[in-house]
Amino acid sequence: MPEGPELHLASQFVNEACRALVFGGCVEKSSVSRNPEVPFESSAYRISASARGKELRLILSPLPGAQPQQEPLALVFRFGMS
């Protein structure tokens, strides 16, 4: 299980790797995943990350003018014991 500093480094990596990228389309779930679908689709969005404690938060932020218009969505990954 990752510790706090490792999650902080992971968020820094995501921010550095995705800084100049623009993503598009919907979020696709693996066919073997038991997690719920992610209700997000946009023609152009950016991904950023932040870490706090045992949580890593990915923020999907649509760019101005992207269709369909949608609010930013935060995906929270919890790495605690429960």
Amino acid letter, 81: M
Residue 29 annotated as catalytic: no
- Given a contact cutoff of 8 angstroms between Cβ atoms, the answer to whether 22 and 63 are in contact is yes
Is residue 54 among the annotated active site residues? yes
Given 3, 5, 39, 71, the catalytic residue = 3
Determine contact, residues 59/72, Cβ cutoff 8 Å. yes
Separation CA 4–CA 69 (nearest Å): 34
pTM of the full structure:
0.87
Q: Residue 18 half-sphere exposure, CB side, CA atoms within 13 Å?
A: 19
Residues 1-19+40-82: name the CATH superfamily.
MutM-like, N-terminal (3.20.190.10)
Q: Domain segments of the chain: what residues?
A: 1-19+40-82
Catalytic residue among 6, 37, 41, 54: 54
User: Mind listing the pLDDT tens digit for each residue in 40-64?
Assistant: 999 999 999 999 999 999 999 999 9
Residue-level pLDDT at 19? 95
